Structure 1
Amino acid sequence: MNTKNKKRIRAGIDTITKSNLQYFVIAFSILVLASGPLLLHTVSPQVFAAVQMITIPYGAFDPNFNTAAPQWYLPTATTIQVNQTVTWLNQDTEGHTVTSGKAGGREGLIQNNMGQPSGLFDSGTIMPGKKWSYTFTKPGQYEYFCTIHPWMDGYIVVNEKEPDPTDADGNKLTQFPQVRLTPDRRYEADLSWEPHYIMTGHKITFVFQFYDNVMPHPIPAHYIFTITQNGKQLFRSEDRTQFGGGYNYFSFDEPGPAIFRFDDIDNSGQSVQYSAMVEQMDSNSDMSGMAGMDDMVQPARNMALQDYLIPLFFTPALITAGVVVLLVKIRKKKPHEGDYVQ
């Protein structure tokens, strides 16, 4: 093959390579720019699962103090609500049981105490990699252990089920988030709060999203969020959401109907309103001990984490583009193998 043909082939390969790289950069950049807001839009407070998972870790069969397992059951103590299900997953190399009753403890090995089953529930042998589930239908404190390895013990605390939340008029709230459309039907505003059943003295997290109802997608929007109770405005926050979402914290000191409003959504003058009944916390409530442990009111953070994550989505595209430009410049300066340099 003569030198002229080699040059033509090399030039063709370079053209294809540079073209493919350019198409890759364009496609990759579009993908990153388009998916960034969508991925960030998913950042939101977590919701607890209906099924509580407990793991039997590797090394749980070993009664020694210096064992691979930090605990026999992870977590050792678990709090759930009535009618909630607990699933135990055996990740150890030996079979185990989940049996209600009192464990024998390490000292039981010397005293030949293999534990005292109560007869309420018994999983039988759960082989490695297998799992077993049980639904607790009554409140109370339940101790359980492994009949094969009686030093292994765990605890389940079952609380009464939380009452159903209601609006200010006493109507049951069955769906969260609560969805509202502005009077002109241009905007959709979704509001949820955790916990759904609001009691005095407990920090409530309000999570909200704004959408364009004409072209359904989340939007960053200006808003004024207020909380009013018994005719008195207790809280006001004026801010702008990032990628459509934001959240606020608040704690109620008094029971009674409360109104939550968003005004001037996206500087449109449009408003939406929600309501909830705030109940007095019982001193005997399982949640009463949590009162006062958290900051009662904090300024809106509005998914502030997104502001730090945004560069992560744009940086790869910029780096890739820079590398391609650098490679093209190097190829222009460096003669190809087989070329004659005069």
Structure 2
Amino acid sequence: MTVLDKIPRFFSRQVIFTISVLIIFFINVEQSYAEEFTINIPFGAFNPELNTPAEVWYDPPELTVKVGDTVTWYNDDREGHTVTSGNGAGRFDWMGSKNLGESDGIFDSGRFMPDESWSYTFEEEGSFNYFCVIHPWMEGIVFVDPFIPDYPHDATGKQVEFPILLITPDNSVEINFSWEPKIIKTHEKVNFIYRFYDAQTDQPLRKLEYDIAIIQNGIELYRDKNAVSQAGGDYRQWIFEEPGSVLIKIRDIRSFGKVAETTIDLSGSSVARLGDFSAVVYENTEQTKTVDKIVQPRQTVQFYYEIAVAIIAVPAIMLLAIIIYMKYKGA
């Protein structure tokens, strides 16, 4: 085999190695936010009389985790146990009755013996009761909260950097968009902040007219069909009562009569001058009701040329009429 014959094999190995490293890297990045928790099954759990009055069959009996976290149960008792989702029989209800608990089928460890363990990763939020089918008085519960990233992201979970830069499909206007706070929660005020620029020269544009709407879970919550951009940028405040995905739609960016301060011609069709921005609203576990008030920006009063003429002309005509009347009366 010549050196030339070895080159493709060498490079193929390098490619395979590189791909493997990248796969491992992305898997680690994906799982870097997940945590692991442990619950012990203490000695004496097999006999309720040995665990009275503490009645801690699983230690801790209540645990709060986030979506994506893994919980591992360790059997420190002298008999086998199960971790089965559902409702157990309770401390005394199992005695002399046929109530041995009822599984809901979400997860089941099967029997695992002393010094063994079993793990489960929670992929959905909610409350999960569980018990031991062998010893139905043994009960525990896991509360799973939604995973909330500590960085701004769109409705797909993709991380974004502020300001988000978007150029309209007609390549005329650039929209800079952000929100504060960066993690949106229910019952807390959020400011959606944005500004318009000339996409070619990067010069700020103001006194433009546009439509803006806030939509959550497919329901329109707010719309302003005749918004006017201000110097220094615009904002819209909102307080969300429900969690879920949010879509902010900016449409029909157009010149505001003859007073628009632009470096480009926006007199044509505005159908293609638009932009969509998405975000996620999370359930606020610390604040359960809204106490703030929404305050939308006050739009600067704009005077059309015709209105200005009318304001000046009407009093002038009335004054002229009075003068003519007085002269006629005096004559």
> What TM-score do the two structures reach when normalised by structure 1?
0.37
Q: Which has the larger radius of gyration?
A: 2
> What TM-score do the two structures reach when normalised by structure 2?
0.39
Larger RCO of the pair (alpha carbons < 8 Å, separation 6+) = 1
Q: Which has the higher helix share?
A: 1
